[in-house]
């Protein structure tokens, strides 16, 4: 994880292809299984009561949740348990791609089965929107769609593969982005199939 510059930049979003090698991917999956044992995956709902197609959990001081009260960060899993710590391997990944940023305090873990999607959205619930967002793909390929900071207009898509890392920072920090579909069976990393997306953020106010 020592490549300082992305392999390509799409609409201002840096993409590191295969930054996390296969052995490290397997180790991270084990780390994330431990996270999910401490803070089980949930299928959350929106303010309107619509269930998301992805399952979610978190690690770190703050976890992102959505329910009838809306989108927000909370210091505890809905069960009342504190979120587990962010795995060290993920903290090292963050430091490798955004070395000048403060350490993340939130790690959102999304699991996509073959039918899951994520509509175009902005990451804008954080206290300091100048801090980067780091996204890691593990497992099956995902078609990543990128729009603009303003809603609407043309979009551009590319496939993300297991071990790829995307960074939203600078002028692209608030770009609209989403996942159109999952290419089932494209990776053998997860025995049951599917994709894990790990999103690291600085969610709370400066410490």
Whole-number average pLDDT of the chain? 96
Q: How many domains does the chain have?
A: 1
* Domain annotation covers residue 159: yes
pLDDT tens, 170-204? Answer: 999 999 999 999 999 999 999 999 999 999 999 99
* Domain annotation covers residue 67: yes
* Domain annotation covers residue 174: yes
**Domain ranges, residue 41:** 8-201
* Domain annotation covers residue 1: no
* Domain annotation covers residue 207: no
pLDDT tens, 52-68? Answer: 999 999 999 999 999 99
pLDDT tens, 18-39? Answer: 999 999 999 999 999 999 999 9
DSSP annotation string for 21-79: -HHHHHHHHHHHHHHHHHS--B--B-TTSPBPSSEEEEEES-EEEEETTEEEEESB-TT
Question: For 7, phi and psi rounded to 5 degrees?
Answer: -75, -30
pLDDT band at residue 2 using 50, 70 and 90 as cut-offs: low
What pLDDT, on a 0 to 100 scale, did the predictor assign at position 1?
Answer: 58
* Domain annotation covers residue 93: yes
* Domain annotation covers residue 2: no
Whichever domain contains 48, its CATH number is 2.60.120.590
Residue 137: alpha-carbon gap to chain centroid = 8
* Domain annotation covers residue 206: no
What pLDDT, on a 0 to 100 scale, did the predictor assign at position 98?
Answer: 97
In the chain, what percentage of residues exceed pLDDT 90? Answer: 92
């Amino acid at each position: 994880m020592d490549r300082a510059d992305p392999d390509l930049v799409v609409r201002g979003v840096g993409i590191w292809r295969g930054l996390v090698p296969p052995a490290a991917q397997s180790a991270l999956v084990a780390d994330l299984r431990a996270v999910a044992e401490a803070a089980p995956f949930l299928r959350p709902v929106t303010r309107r009561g619509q269930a998301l197609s992805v399952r979610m959990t978190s690690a770190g001081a703050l976890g992102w949740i959505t329910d009838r009260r809306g989108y927000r960060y909370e210091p505890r899993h809905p069960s009342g348990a504190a979120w587990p710590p962010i795995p060290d391997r993920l903290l090292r990944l963050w430091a490798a791609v955004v070395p000048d940023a403060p350490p993340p305090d939130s790690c959102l873990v999304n699991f996509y089965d073959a039918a899951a999607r994520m509509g175009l959205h902005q990451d804008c619930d954080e206290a300091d929107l100048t801090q980067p967002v780091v996204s890691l793909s593990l497992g099956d390929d995902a078609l990543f769609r990128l729009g603009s900071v303003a809603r609407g207009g043309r979009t551009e898509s590319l496939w993300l593969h297991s071990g790829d890392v995307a960074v939203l920072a600078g002028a692209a920090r608030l770009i609209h982005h989403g996942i159109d579909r999952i290419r089932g069976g494209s990776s053998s990393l997860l025995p049951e199939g599917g994709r894990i997306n790990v999103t690291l953020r600085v969610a709370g106010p400066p410490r």
